[in-house]
Amino acid sequence: MTDQDLKVANKQELLHKEETTSTDKYFVPTVDIFETENEVTVVAEMPGVDNDGVDISLDADILTIKGRMDIADEDKNWKILLHEYETGHYLRRFTVAETIDQENIAATLNDGLLKIILPKSMPAQPRKIEVRSE
């Protein structure tokens, strides 16, 4: 599986429905999403984002992943000799079908890969209501 060569995937810029006030660019991070019996895991590629720059929120069933890209040392005065990729922030939204235990969402960031674990909330045990006749 890993013997193949990696191909260049051009970054996809996020298209806003409305105009933004700042000229910062947003890109759609590529993701892997997989599910096990107990949890849903989202892995997103966010190179250049540090722990402080990540913003994850789950509002109703909309999961929003936001990453603020920060290369502090990049200087506007540097002369560009080759420019093959653009840099910018990351933003992507998903509708989560499963019911998620919001209290226990965990996220880790390693080498530019963000991993979010969304534990499924256990469905409430059906309570049996006995009907008594008087």
Question: Who's near 86: CB < 8 A, 6+ residues apart?
Answer: 11, 13, 25, 27
Q: Output the smallest distance, CB 28 to another protein, in A.
A: 10
- Rounded Cα distance between 48 and 88, Å, is 9
d(Cα 92, Cα 44) in Å, to the nearest integer? 9
- Each residue 94-113 as x (binds another protein by CB under 8 A) or -, in order, gives ---------------x-xxx
Nearer to another protein, 12 or 20 (CB): 12
Q: Does 65 bind another protein (CB under 8 A)?
A: no
Distance from chain centroid for Cα 41: 10
Where along the sequence are the contacts to another protein (CB under 8 A)? Answer: 1-10, 30-37, 40-41, 43, 45-50, 71, 74-75, 77-87, 109, 111-113
